[in-house]
Amino acid sequence: MTSTSSNAQSSNSQSSSPLAAKPGQPGIDPRGPRFGATITVVLLAIDVFLGLTGVSTTSGTTLAQRATDPAFILLVILTLIFAWGAFAGIQRHPYGAIFKRFIRPNLSAPSELEDPKPPTFAQLIGFIVTGVGVVLALVGVPYGLVVAAAFAFVAAFLNSVFAYCLGCQIYVLLVRAGILGRKAA
């Protein structure tokens, strides 16, 4: 590490912080992603219910049975919504549109704005977890769908009820594991 590529900074220089939201990319109302997480909590609870009462817990099912299982179809939809948030950005999330249209007008102004990047990353983690559940269900691994949906449920619940973004917290662990954040050079 050379002295020119320092990545630490002093607090006394308030401007040009590399970690703040980029200029021209204003922060988002942190209540938006929490509202979205609340919808996700309900849908994932329904999916766990459908998963436990459907064919995904048993082995020896046909591909057609597995692919038409209501729990499977709902999890595919949830996976696609996570993909939307992860790849289009949390600002273009469909739940965000609902929040802006129907919820936000009834609320007071947010006390602070948040960088959109962490919740967008959390959507990616949600996409991976539910995507794994979709694959396990399609391959026919018993309880694969339920376990994946349950993990996603806990994460969405923490986000919704406790404002704790588990997906964001995983980031630094992935950096340490060498999966993310490596220098391109």
Under the rule (CB under 8 A), what is the footprint of other proteins?
A: 1, 3, 6-12, 14, 17-21, 30, 45, 48-49, 52-53, 57, 112, 114-115, 117-119, 121, 150, 153-154, 157-158, 161-162, 164-165, 168-169, 171-173, 175-178, 181-183
Residue 28 Cβ vs other proteins, minimum distance, rounded to whole Å: 10
Q: Which is nearer to other proteins, 122 or 134 (CB)?
A: 122
Least Cβ distance, residue 61 to other proteins (angstroms): 15
Q: Toward other proteins, which CB reaches closer, 4 or 108?
A: 4
State the Cα–Cα distance between residues 16 and 79, nearest whole angstrom: 36
Here the tokens at position 133 are 């559940």
Count of Cβ atoms closer than 10 Å to residue 65 Cβ:
15
Residue 73 CB, nearest distance to other proteins (Å)?
19
Min separation Cβ 95 and other proteins, Å: 17
Q: Which contacts of 51-56 are long-range, i.e. CB under 8 A and separated by 24 or more positions?
A: 51/75, 51/145, 51/146, 51/149, 52/146, 56/137, 56/142, 56/143, 56/144, 56/145, 56/146
C-alpha dist (Å) from residue 105 to 45, 97, 112, 132, 182:
28, 12, 16, 37, 41
State the residue for tokens 């499977």: 72
What is the identity of the amino acid at 82? F
Q: Give 11 or 106: the residue with its C-beta nearer to other proteins.
A: 11
Q: How far is the CB of 18 from other proteins (least distance, A)?
A: 7
Nearer to other proteins, 65 or 169 (CB): 169
Q: By C-beta, is 55 or 134 nearer to other proteins?
A: 55
